Amino acid sequence: MKFSKPVQLFALSALVLMMAVSATALFAGHDTPPDARNFQCTTVTLAPGQSQTVAIPYSSKDYYLKMMLEGAGADGVKMEVFTSEQNAKGTGPVGLGTFNKFEPAHSKVWEGRFLFSDIIYVRLTNTTNAPVTVRLCSYERLWFPPPTPIPPTPVPRIELPPDEDGES
């Protein structure tokens, strides 16, 4: 069955609108800003004492990375953040996910910015005695450098009177 050009355009417009509404519903409940990019979520189920590492790409020093941990049992999950080098060497994390009272929708939040593109690793460890399912979401957002500082006001030169011996 063939449709006229206006019907085809209407159907295409409706499809685009449905996709936009679906994306909005997907991101509902997140404080995802309009300029966010590389939004991704990973659901992880952890047995008691189990750890799992999730890799998150980080693209550039011009962006900061925000990660949010959600779920009923997320309070009992330790969230450690590592660079590729730290992950390979087994050294301590660059940061830990913590509760942010200004973002109560998320159990734990971590934000940071690196000077290089990298794969960032997040190790999730279940510290409870029961299995938990959590969701780790992340996105990058443009980093705005601080405004250019205002140059200091020049201080006028003060001419001092000559000393008694005639030197200034």
Per-residue pLDDT of the chain (168 residues; tens, 9 = 90+): 565 655 444 444 443 334 333 333 333 445 556 666 677 888 999 999 999 999 888 887 677 788 888 888 888 999 999 988 888 888 889 888 888 777 766 788 888 888 777 888 999 999 999 999 998 888 777 666 545 566 677 777 778 787 776 665
What are the distances in angstroms from CA 34 to CA 37, 145, 149? Answer: 9, 18, 28
Q: What are phi and psi of 76, to 5 degrees?
A: -95, 15
Q: Give, as one character, the DSSP assignment of residue 147.
A: P
Q: Which domains does the chain have, with CATH numbers?
A: 36-142 (2.60.120.380)
Picking from 132, 58, 129, the residue whose alpha carbon sits closest to that of residue 95 is 58
pTM of the model: 0.63
Q: Which distant-in-sequence residues (6+ apart) come within 8 Å of 29 by Cβ?
A: 105
The Cα–Cα gap between 127 and 99 comes to 16
The Cα–Cα gap between 121 and 106 comes to 19
Helix (H) or strand (E) holding 5: helix 5-27
124 contacts 47 by C-beta, under 8 angstroms: no
